[in-house]
């Protein structure tokens, strides 16, 4: 099977959710959590993230666009992934959407690849002491949930933005995410959290938040290499192990990270083994970060991932 049957699932779950919300018993309806059907063939489990190709993506919010390089729209990115890498799943970054208007989102829906997750920033921290700012982040998160419904994506990934001079707060973050995850459940959309920042998105902090919220539509998105930036290799593997215990449908594959010119290497097959031991059945999204270019780097990751999954 090339991809999970998202559209039929979303039609049914969204319809049921709307009725459940009206009756006030959505918590009961979704208490068992999502039940997505994932592909089992190694290549069909792969996805390609748009983030490594940020220098090429045309979008008003893409500050990493390199005008010296030939640009492409997300629709072109989707077609390129299918043609060049023979992968039929993509993970488009929120900032890479040229627009979030319904017409543009509908056009993306017609692209040749299935969207399996949308990583998004929501314009505010979910643990900001200012309640108005947290509310803005919650409302923006809900808008991306709606976009995920339109695209047939099973999930979004929310970035937990840092707040200057404020330590990450489990209670405020959990309160914000509880509302977002409940909304996601009503729409049939998973909400994922990634170990993307050593401060505001520390893997063990995220695990505590996920466990406190205790909603089957809130999960972890383990990144193979982000926690390696701590400089502690064992910490990275411990962080990934903790995250995979709460992962469901998406993770990020990296074989290296670069920080201030220093290269941190990741043992790919060791990390794939961690995923397997956790019982993870979801997608592996290629998010190359390293030396060279994204085309060569992504192909290298795909080849290595297929060997580890064989």
* Tens digits of residue pLDDT in 108-131: 988 889 999 999 999 999 999 999
Using a 10 angstrom Cβ sphere, with 0-12 exposed, 13-18 middle and 19 or more buried, the burial of residue 289 is buried
Which residues are within 8 A (CB) of 47 and not within 5 positions of it... i.e. 6 or more apart? 87, 89, 90, 91, 116, 117, 250, 283, 284, 285, 286
- The pTM for the full model equals 0.90
Q: If we measure between CA atoms, which residue out of 155, 237, 160, 274 comes closest to residue 206?
A: 160
Residues of the chain with pLDDT under 70: 1-31
How many Å apart are CA 187 and CA 6, to the nearest integer?
Answer: 13
Beta-strand relationship, 218-221 and 190-194: parallel
- Which of 1.10.3720.10, 3.40.1030.10, 3.40.1160.10, 3.20.20.150 is the CATH number of 6-309? 3.20.20.150
Sign of the dihedral defined by the CA atoms of residues 27, 91, 310, 38, in that order: positive
User: What are the sequence ranges of the domains in the chain?
Assistant: 6-309
**Nearest CA to 117 among 215, 29, 30, 219?**
219
Q: Scanning the structure block, which residue is given the tokens 């996805």?
A: 47
Cα distances from 53 to residues 78, 80, 109, 151, 289, in angstroms, run 12, 11, 20, 21, 10
Token match 């990390």: residue? 271
Encode pLDDT of 216-266 as tens digits: 999 999 999 999 999 999 999 999 999 999 999 999 999 999 888 889 999
């Amino acid at each position: 099977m090339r991809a999970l049957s998202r559209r039929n699932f979303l039609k049914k779950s969204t319809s049921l959710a709307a009725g459940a919300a009206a009756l006030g018993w959505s918590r009961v309806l979704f208490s068992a959590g999502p039940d997505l059907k994932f592909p089992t063939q190694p290549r069909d489990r792969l996805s390609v993230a748009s983030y490594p190709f940020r220098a090429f993506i045309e979008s008003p919010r893409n500050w990493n666009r390199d005008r010296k390089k030939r640009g492409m729209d997300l629709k072109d990115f989707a077609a390129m992934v299918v043609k060049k890498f023979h992968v039929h799943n993509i993970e488009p970054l929120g900032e890479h959407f040229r627009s979030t208007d319904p017409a543009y989102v509908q056009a993306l829906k017609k692209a040749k690849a299935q969207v399996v997750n949308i990583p998004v920033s929501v314009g505010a921290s979910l643990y900001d002491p200012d309640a108005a700012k947290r509310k803005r982040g919650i409302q923006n998160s809900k808008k991306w949930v709606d976009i995920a419904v339109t695209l047939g994506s099973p999930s979004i990934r929310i970035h937990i933005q840092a707040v200057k001079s404020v330590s990450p707060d489990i209670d405020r973050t959990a309160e914000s995410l509880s509302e977002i995850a409940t909304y996601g459940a009503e729409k049939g959309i998973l909400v994922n959290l990634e170990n993307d920042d050593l401060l505001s998105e520390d893997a063990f902090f995220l695990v505590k938040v996920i466990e406190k919220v205790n909603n089957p539509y809130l999960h972890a998105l383990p990144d193979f290499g982000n926690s390696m930036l701590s400089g502690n290799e064992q910490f990275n593997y411990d962080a990934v192990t903790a995250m995979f215990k709460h992962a469901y449908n998406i993770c990020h594959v990296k074989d290296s990270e670069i920080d201030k010119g220093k290269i941190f290497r990741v043992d790919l097959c060791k990390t794939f083994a961690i995923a397997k031991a956790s019982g993870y059945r979801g997608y592996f999204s290629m998010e190359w970060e390293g030396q060279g270019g994204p085309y060569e780097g992504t192909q290298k990751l795909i080849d290595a991932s297929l060997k580890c999954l064989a």
